[in-house]
Structure 1
Amino acid sequence: MTKNVDDAGVLDRLLPEIRPLENSRSRTPSVTGAVFNVSTSVIGAGIMSIPATLKVLGVFPALILILIIAFLSDVSVDFLLRHTLAGKSKTYAGVMGEAFGRGGSLLLQLSIMLTTLGTLVMYLIIIGDVLSGTNTDGTLHPGILQQWFGIHWWNSRQCSILGTIILVVLPLVMLRRVESLRFTSAVSVLLAVVFVIISSVMAIIAIFEGKTETPKLVPDFAHQASFLELFTAVPVIVTAFTFHFNVHPIASELSKTSDMTFAVKFSLILCAAIYSTVGVFGYLLFGESTTADILVNFNQNFGSEAGLLLNDTVRLSYVFHLMLVFPLLNFSLRCNIDELLFPKRPPLASHPARFMWITISLLGLIYVAAILIPSIWYSFQFIGSTSAVCIAFIFPGAIALRDVHGISTRRDKIMASLMIFLAGLASIIAISSNITNAVS
């Protein structure tokens, strides 16, 4: 069967023909490996704002919302994987192409690029918050550099982010092969684990010492500007669970459908548990002073030198984690942009000039956005109510309703319709509330 250059990869089969191979056990991707690869790709900057959603919604509504979005994510991934297996495509964009043609595939690619770009901006915002501090609701939270060396021009937000890009990020993003980043990826996973463990231990110690604040179990409508303002927390959690373009290629490499299902479900349970744990412990630790980026809160003095050391360790471990994850997301974004702008040109890695100017232009755009956007909360809301909600729920639901392979059941179509309706409604309300707040 012939295919055009623009359709390359869209009509490829998901899995190769199964043939008996020597040492096949060592070549077959393991379920355990898929679970941890998926989980690692999910847990990123989203975890930083989960405690703030508990502050806005209250503990019980926020935890319930995490479970609901995790359940809808499971349904969404199930739609995606089943329609992948039924067709000839091995990528999310390919499945969209089969259902809605070239336009559908292009729309998905644009959504993924926007989500990835926004995520990279959030990474730099968090790095700036930790290194140079931030001012939240009139409260100054100094950064690590300011605490160590005092306030100077060279450790301002603009300079610290620029220095991070030049000294750490730029050398890594200039690597042309993603395989070259395997060691930095391993270190980034370890640093993320360090953050979760230390922050959880600090919260548990604070509970036993009676230093935690009484949590708000339900929304406080007396101090809420409007009921619709509660919906601004929904896009934050949606963005945290937007991992379908990571789940899809990893889980689909498994040879059994049951293994794919198990890998996805277990990953969702694991991520929901981690988000809930960090959210509850973070909110207990800082109460109503919890900021949109909880790393900012770890500048408080807990009464001992050990407490100060733990604070700095927590912040630095996650900042270095983000620095090392940044090149991976940048690699994906850069390749998508190159494929969109230069579909018939040679591979990007073989064209130094094109590689250089796309890389530098992207870093410049991300740097400017990180300086102009004051908080990751706004970035989460924008991405979560636009491109992320499309990737996570609207597109998979539309694929199930389109049903070009005739495999969707009546229950599938009902769930798909409900998922699209809820996602669209929450997105519209969140966008309307943000516009209203901005105008007022």
Structure 2
Amino acid sequence: MDAPGTNSINGAAFNVLNSIIGSGIICLPIALKNAGLVAGILLLILVGMISQFTTYTLVFTGKRTNAMSYSEVARQALGTTGYRILNASLIFSMLGALTTYLIIVGDILTALREAYLPALAWATRSATIIGVSVSCISPFLFFRNSGPLAKISCRTDYPLVLGSKVFPALGMLSFSFCSSHAAFQNFLGLEVRSLQNWRKCTMIATWAALVICCSFAVIGLMSFGSGVQANIFQNFPQNDPYVNVARLLFCLTLVLTFPLTFYPARDTLTHMLHIDQPQLARLSTREMVCSLTLFGLVIAAATQCTDLGMAYELVGAATATVIGFVFPSLIFLWSGSDLTVAKVLVSRPVASLLPLIERTKDTDEDNIAQGRQSVTLWSVGWFVFYFGITVFFVGTYSIIHR
């Protein structure tokens, strides 16, 4: 962990950008439709800025607590309960993402089958999802880790003002911008691990992601108007050969990305259940059962859920807001990451909090001693917390109620 990385600021920024922009980008046009064009763009910018703040402050707090993983920072700052809630949220978020992968694969391959192989009427959407999952994905899910996949893995990177589904749309936007889980991995890849470099890295990645996402969302909405769908590929003709090549390549990307998302979910769950045995070369029986159970749950959810937009909304509102907004802000505030918060949250003298508020040469703590910036960071932290809580409850309730 202490060995320096090899990435420059731009290289690390590209990795952060790659962790932000994933399959969730295809739902952004309908998110703008649901929120309204103007409100959607403003909310997308707000979510991007909040994500940049939380990604930066997670590492900021990690350096103060001498912990370089999201889960470990949560354990030190929020205790065992917070650690377990975070891990549960991470598992549900990753399983939700895997479910959306299979929904997209099922929708696209079914459309291609209807266009080119209409005689195969038995190949329904559910049969397609199960067939692809069992034949193409399952062989890669039972290694000890993702190392054997290295050679074959694929890296992936109309109301005009205010719509009627703002909070569900915020769930979609949160899902698209949720990258807090990869903060420490990308920070540790920096050749020079300073908070100044990390701030530049997250700023470059965030604004690049905002430009890409805003452009994609606006062009998609303006092109298809009120008829835009959650899977934007469904807005194109089924017999367009160029679009169908893109559809097929996108499916291939999701199929090859599936194991890379599945392994962290499985490993997190087996660790929580205390059944992980990393010293073994092969999976134990209990780990195998855990893998099969998770895989079966994802397949069942994908075959039963036909509304990709609702899946994105629910996963975003119920888990991405917790992982991306609520926990990072709570960790930042609770751990005493600046002098003002330390004085507010504990009755002990500030000096007794060391090393939580200990200054280091690469963390810009001199600025934290200044009252104005401390109050600003403290206020932003509380705003992010209440913003995440509001989107979580209102967004989740509105989706379930609908």
TM-score bracket, shorter-length normalisation = 0.7 to 0.9
- TM-score, normalising length from structure 1? 0.78
Amino acid at match of 2:313: Q
Provide the residue aligned with 2:229 in structure 1.
291
> SS at the partner of 1:350?
coil
- Alignment partner of 1:80 is 2:67: no
> SS at the partner of 2:151?
helix
2:293 to 361, 369, 372: 361
2:176 to 240, 247, 250: 240
Gaps of 5+ in 2: 342-373
Distance 1:71 1:346, change over 3 A: closer
Amino acid at match of 2:83: S
1:390 to 322, 325, 329: 322
Show the 5 A alignment for 1:24-423: 28-132=6-110, 143-150=111-118, 152-185=120-153, 187-189=154-156, 216-219=159-162, 227=164, 229-254=165-190, 255-300=193-238, 308-342=240-274, 345-347=277-279, 349-404=281-336, 406=338, 409-423=374-388
Tell me the C-alpha RMSD between the 2 structures: 2.2
Gaps of 5+ in 1: 1-14, 19-23, 133-142, 193-214, 221-226, 302-307
Contact 1:177 1:349 in 2 (8 A): no
- TM-score, normalising length from structure 2? 0.85
Contact 2:277 2:284 in 1 (8 A): no
Shift of 1:334: 1.1
Shift of 1:182: 2.6
Shift of 1:395: 0.8
C-alpha distance in structure 1 between counterparts of 2:24 and 2:13, whole Å = 19
Amino acid at match of 1:410: V
Deviation per residue, 1:84-120 (Å, 9 max, x gap): 1111211011111111111111111111001001000
Contact 1:115 1:388 in 2 (8 A): yes
Provide the residue aligned with 1:223 in structure 2.
none
C-alpha distance in structure 1 between counterparts of 2:286 and 2:261, whole Å = 19
Shift of 1:241: 0.8
Deviation per residue, 1:199-242 (Å, 9 max, x gap): xxxxxxxxxxxxxxxx653246xxxxxx4x33221100011111
Number of aligned residue pairs: give it: 367
C-alpha distance in structure 2 between counterparts of 1:184 and 1:32, whole Å = 26
Distance 1:232 1:344, change over 3 A: closer
Distance 1:60 1:312, change over 3 A: same
Which is worse superposed, 281-290 or 106-115? 281-290
Shift of 1:406: 4.6
Shift of 1:46: 0.8
Which is worse superposed, 336-345 or 282-291? 336-345
